[in-house]
């Protein structure tokens, strides 16, 4: 069932209700004050789904701004940082 946003004229926060597409009320009672709230026409929330395609798009969008740091390539068993054999390195603090 699609969701619809309603705005109360008394400066209450907008609220969302679910209604069948066959019967969408233009007005609804505000849950905070009970006033007559009108339906707000806005952009459809197409990105609100939870599918593999949506997760991939979200991950791609997030990695374009803050790339994920990896230490190894996927499927690689080789360590990215070589293990030192110098005995003095044992005294260094570990990450």
Q: Contact positions toward Zn ion, by CB under 5 A?
A: 8, 10, 12, 30, 32-33, 35
> Residue 31 CB, nearest distance to Zn ion (Å)?
8
Residues 6+ away with beta carbon under 8 Å from 2: 18, 19, 21
Q: Which is nearer to Zn ion, 40 or 62 (CB)?
A: 40
Measured from the CB atom, is 32 or 58 closer to Zn ion? 32
Tokens standing for 38?
């009108």
3-class SS of residue 39: strand
- What does the alpha-carbon distance between residue 4 and residue 15 come to, in Å, rounded to a whole number? 8
Nearer CB in complex with Zn ion: 14/58: 14
User: Least distance to Zn ion from the beta carbon of 18, Å?
Assistant: 19
For the bound state, the minimum distance from the C-beta of residue 23 to Zn ion, rounded and expressed in Å, comes to 22
**What would you report as the CA-atom Rg of the chain, rounded to the nearest whole angstrom?**
26
């Amino acid at each position: 069932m699609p969701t619809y946003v309603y705005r109360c004229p008394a400066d209450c926060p907008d609220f969302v209700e679910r209604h069948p597409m066959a019967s969408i009320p233009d007005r609804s009672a505000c849950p905070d004050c009970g006033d007559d709230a009108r339906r707000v026409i806005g952009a459809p929330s197409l990105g609100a789904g939870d599918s593999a395609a949506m997760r991939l798009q979200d991950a791609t969008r997030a990695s374009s701004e803050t790339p994920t740091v990896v230490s190894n390539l996927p499927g690689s068993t080789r360590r990215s940082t070589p293990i030192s054999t110098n005995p003095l390195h044992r005294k260094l603090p570990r990450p």
